[in-house]
Amino acid sequence: MLKHGRLVIVVLVVLVSAFATSGWLQAARRASAPILVSATAAGNVEAAITQLERDWAKAIVKKDVTALDRLLADEFNGTSPTAHTFPKSVAVGELKSGKYVVQSMVLDEISVNVYGNVAVAFTSQKEQSQYAGNDTSGHYHFTDVWVGKGDRWQVVASHGSRFNEGH
């Protein structure tokens, strides 16, 4: 009886392992993933995230809230260079309302580290901007966390710091 029980367990483990690595499970995961910004077909995650960072900056300047909605995950949380935290709704809302206005945003450095379905991007940017009528132009560094869902990526967190040129 004990040998028969072990055999059943071994067979179950093999079947579960085969199912988990089959195309069925991957297809089920892709079907349940929300529509996001697509990564490259070749799987070059670093290049895909670099492009998504550029797309994000372009969307901010153009006030493209549709693109921002695709790029930022619903669970997005940001921390501004002034240490204020904000969810996706605030990030998109302040841009849409004109509270945050960006005339130009130039990414002068982007590096990406990939850890499975998570990527961390480090960016440096110079921007000309106003927030609530005050000039916030300057040089900033950001750390952004992207999560891959199927073959697509969204940013879930961002933390910014003002970079002082003299230090």
pTM: 0.73
Q: Single out the residue of 129, 124, 126, 81 nearest to residue 102, CA to CA.
A: 129
Q: Round the CA-based radius of gyration of the chain to a whole number and report it.
A: 21
Instruction: Specify the pLDDT at position 166.
Output: 62
User: What angle is formed at CA 61 by the lines to CA 101 and CA 117, rounded to 5 degrees?
Assistant: 115
Of 160, 126, 164, the closest CA to residue 143 belongs to 160
Q: Which CATH number fits domain 38-162: 3.40.50.920, 3.20.10.10, 3.40.50.360, 3.10.450.50?
A: 3.10.450.50
pLDDT tens across 61-99, in order?
Answer: 999 999 999 999 999 999 999 899 999 999 999 999 999
Q: For residues 21 and 23, what is the distance between their CA atoms, to the nearest angstrom?
A: 7
pLDDT in tens, 140-165: 999 999 999 877 899 999 999 998 87
The Cα diameter of the chain in Å comes to 78
Tens digit of each residue's pLDDT (9 = 90 or more) over 8-35: 333 333 333 333 333 333 333 333 333 3
Asked whether the CA dihedral 10, 15, 16, 20 is positive or negative, the reply is: positive
